[in-house]
Structure 1
Amino acid sequence: MRYYTAGESHGQGLVAIVEDVPAGLKISEEQINVDLARRQAGYGRGGRMKIEHDTVQVISGVRFGRTIGSPVAMLVANRDWANWTDRMAPFGEPPLDLAREVTPRPGHADLVGALKTNTDDCRNILERSSARTTAPRVAAAGIAREFLADLGVEIFSYVTGIGSAVMREDDPFMNPSRYTPLEIETSEVRCPDAEASEAMKREIDRAIKDKDSLGGTFRVIVRGLLPGVGGYAVPAERLTSTIGGALFSIPAIKGVEFGMGFEAARKPGSQVHDPILLDRTKAEFTRASNNAGGLEGGMTTGMPLVVTAAMKPIPTLMQPLQTVDLDTLEVAQASKERSDVCAVPACAVVAEGEVAFAIADAYMRKFGSDNMADIKAAIKAYKQRLNTVSR
Structure 2
Amino acid sequence: MRFLTAGESHGPALVAIIEGFPAKVPVVQEAIDRELARRQLGFGRGGRMKIERDQVEILSGVRSGATIGSPICLRINNRDWPRWSGVMAPFTPPETATVNLAADPLLDKVSTVVTTPRPGHADLSGAFKYGYTDLRNIIERASARETAARVAVGAFAKLLLAEFGIFIGSYVTHIGGVGEDYREPLTPAAQARVDESPVRAVNPELAQAMVETIEAAREQKETLGGIFVVYATGVPPGLGSHVHWDRRIDGQLAQAVMGIPGIKGVEFGVGFKGADLVGSQMHDAIGFTTETGWQRASNRAGGIEGGITNGEPLILRAAMKPIPTLYRGLPSVDLKTRQPRAAGAERSDLTAVPAAGVVAEAMVAWVLAAALQEKFGGDTLPELKRAYRSYREGLDAGPADS
TM-score by length of 2: 0.94
Cα contact 1:174–1:289 (8 A) shared by 2: no
TM-superposed deviation, 1:183:
2.1
3-state DSSP of counterpart to 1:86: helix
TM-superposed deviation, 1:181:
1.6
Matches of 2:211 and 2:243 in 1, distance apart? 45
Corresponding residue number in structure 2 for 1:36: 36
Corresponding residue number in structure 2 for 1:252: 262
Of 166, 189, 203 in structure 2, the residue corresponding to residue 193 of structure 1 is 203
3-state DSSP of counterpart to 1:143: helix
Corresponding residue number in structure 2 for 1:204: 214
Cα contact 1:174–1:291 (8 A) shared by 2: no
TM-superposed deviation, 1:164:
1.2
TM-superposed deviation, 1:388:
2.1
1:13 correspondence with 2:13: yes
TM-superposed deviation, 1:390:
7.4
Cα contact 1:20–1:369 (8 A) shared by 2: no
Matches of 1:363 and 1:70 in 2, distance apart? 19
Read off the aligned partner of 1:53 and give its amino acid letter.
R
Read off the aligned partner of 2:162 and give its amino acid letter.
A
Cα contact 2:174–2:228 (8 A) shared by 1: yes
Read off the aligned partner of 2:386 and give its amino acid letter.
A
Matches of 1:77 and 1:87 in 2, distance apart? 17
Matches of 1:140 and 1:310 in 2, distance apart? 23
TM-superposed deviation, 1:375:
0.3
3-state DSSP of counterpart to 2:87: coil
Read off the aligned partner of 1:304 and give its amino acid letter.
P
Corresponding residue number in structure 2 for 1:151: 164
| RMSD (CA atoms) | 1.5
Corresponding residue number in structure 1 for 2:274: 264
Show the 5 A alignment for 1:294-309. 294-309=303-318
Matches of 2:282 and 2:119 in 1, distance apart? 39
Matches of 2:128 and 2:12 in 1, distance apart? 26
CA displacement, residues 152-190 of structure 1 (integer Å, 9 cap, x when unaligned): 1000000010011002x4x3x346559732121121100
Of 173, 176, 193 in structure 2, the residue corresponding to residue 183 of structure 1 is 193
Of 97, 104, 129 in structure 1, the residue corresponding to residue 142 of structure 2 is 129
1:100 correspondence with 2:113: yes
Of 245, 252, 256 in structure 2, the residue corresponding to residue 235 of structure 1 is 245
3-state DSSP of counterpart to 1:356: helix
Corresponding residue number in structure 2 for 1:385: 394
Cα contact 1:36–1:135 (8 A) shared by 2: yes
Show the 5 A alignment for 1:300-339. 300-339=309-348
Deviates more, 1:93-102 or 1:106-115: 93-102
1:67 correspondence with 2:67: yes
Corresponding residue number in structure 2 for 1:355: 364
Read off the aligned partner of 1:77 and give its amino acid letter.
N
Corresponding residue number in structure 2 for 1:87: 87
Matches of 2:93 and 2:268 in 1, distance apart? 50
Read off the aligned partner of 2:301 and give its amino acid letter.
A
CA displacement, residues 94-127 of structure 1 (integer Å, 9 cap, x when unaligned): 4365842001100000011011101110000000
1:25 correspondence with 2:35: no
Instruction: Identify if the C-alpha distance between structure 1 residues 253 and 369 changes in structure 2 by more than 3 Å, giving closer, same or farther.
Output: farther
1:365 correspondence with 2:378: no
Corresponding residue number in structure 1 for 2:154: 141
CA displacement, residues 15-44 of structure 1 (integer Å, 9 cap, x when unaligned): 011111000001111011011011011000
How many residues in Structure 1 have an aligned counterpart in Structure 2? 387
Matches of 1:343 and 1:31 in 2, distance apart? 22
- Structure 1 stretches of 4+ with a deviation exceeding 6 A read none
Matches of 1:137 and 1:55 in 2, distance apart? 13
Cα contact 2:376–2:387 (8 A) shared by 1: yes
Instruction: Identify if the C-alpha distance between structure 1 residues 97 and 203 changes in structure 2 by more than 3 Å, giving closer, same or farther.
Output: closer
Matches of 2:217 and 2:179 in 1, distance apart? 16
Read off the aligned partner of 2:144 and give its amino acid letter.
A
Cα contact 1:285–1:390 (8 A) shared by 2: no
Question: Which residues of structure 1 form unaligned runs of 5+?
Answer: none
